[in-house]
Amino acid sequence: MKILLLNPNMTQAMTDNMAAIARAAVGETVEIVPVTATKGFPYIASRAEAQIAGGLVLEMIAEHGTDVDAVVIAAFGDPGLVGARELFDVPVVGMAEAAVMTAALLGESFAVVTFSPLMRRWYAECVSATGLKDRFKGVYTPNDTPAKLGNIQTDVRDDLISLATTAATQHHADVIILGGAPLAGMVPDIAAHVPAILVDPITAAVLQAMTLAQMRPRSATPNRANKPAAKTSKGLAAPLAKAIQHEGFTG
C-alpha cells in the first residue's frame, strides 16, 4: 500500500518530520510518499492562503496521486479536502478531520491544544467544519505566541501539559488533539502527564488513510453520482486539467 503524504506548505523540514512520524505509525508494509509544495507559502495561516493552497493540493494530487492508495493532506486546516474528495477516486484524508473523527471514537468530547493564540480561530473553524461542534470543547493555547519555533517542543512542553490538564479537568474534554505540525510527535513524551487521551494528528491521518484505502479501493466506485462531469479548462496545470477532463488520470 502507498500513501501520498502531501504537505501543502513549502517547508521541507516539516514534511520530513511528518514523514518520519507517519512511517513509524504505519509499519513496514505501507510506503509513505512525501511531497512538499513547490509553490504557495512557507506555512499556511489564513483562509486566503488556504484558498490558494487548496488549489495547489488539487494540482499535487493530480500529479503525484496516480498510483497511490490514499492521500493525506498534511496541514491542519485541510485545504482543498472537499474538492479533492469530490474530484478524485482515491481516498483523501485531511489532517484536522482525521484527528477529529479519531478523537470522537476515543471519547465523548475533545479539545485542541496548540502553541499559539494566532491559530485559535482557524482551528476552531476547521473543527466546526467537520460537523462535530457539539462534542468540541474549544482550542486552548498559551496567551502569547512563542518567539521562535526552533525548540518549540521543549519551550512549550509545560504549557501544553498545563493547558491540556485544564481542558480535561475544567472543560470536560475526554480527548486532546495536539494541533499544529510543529507539535507532531510529542504525544509519547507528555501522555503520562495529561489526564486525558492524546491524539497526534499526523498519526491519526495516516492510520485513517490506511483504513480508508483498505475499505474503499479507488476502483470500487466506477460511477460515483457525486463526481463532477468532465469539463474543459484553461490555464490549469496539465495533470489537473486532465483529471478534470476525465482524461488519462484514474485518480
Q: CB-based burial of residue 219 (10 Å sphere; 0-12 exposed, 13-18 middle, 19+ buried)?
A: exposed
How open is the CA angle 142-144-146, to the nearest 5 degrees?
95
49 binds its own copies (CB under 8 A): yes
The answer to whether 231 and 241 have CB atoms below 8 angstroms apart is no
How many residues are given for the chain?
A: 251
Q: Which three cell numbers stand for residue 146?
A: 512563542
Give the residue, chosen from 1, 20, 33, 106, that forms a contact with its own copies under the rule CB under 8 A.
Answer: 106
CB count within 10 Å of CB 146 equals 15
**Contact pattern for its own copies over residues 183 through 202, marking x by CB under 8 A:** --------xx-xxxxxxx--
Q: x/- site string to its own copies, residues 228 to 247, per CB under 8 A?
A: xx-xxxxxx---x---x---
C-alpha cell, 19:
514523514
Question: For residue 77, which of 6, 22, 135, 125 has the smallest C-alpha distance?
Answer: 125
Q: Interface with its own copies by CB under 8 A: which range of 15-23, 39-47, 148-156, 177-185? A: 39-47
Based on the shown chain and the rule CB under 8 A, indicate whether residue 68 belongs to the binding site for its own copies: no
Interface stretch with its own copies, choices 15-23, 147-155, 166-174, 178-186 (CB under 8 A): 166-174
Question: Among residues 1, 20, 45, 149, which is the contact residue for its own copies, using CB under 8 A?
Answer: 45
148 binds its own copies (CB under 8 A): no
**Does the footprint of its own copies cover residue 50 (CB under 8 A)?**
yes
- C-alpha distances (whole Å) from 152 to each of 14, 182, 228, 245 are 13, 7, 43, 44
Query: Interaction with its own copies in 69-88: which residues (CB under 8 A)?
Result: 80, 82-87
If one asks whether residue 204 binds its own copies (CB under 8 A), the answer comes out as: yes
Rule CB under 8 A: say whether 24 interacts with its own copies: no
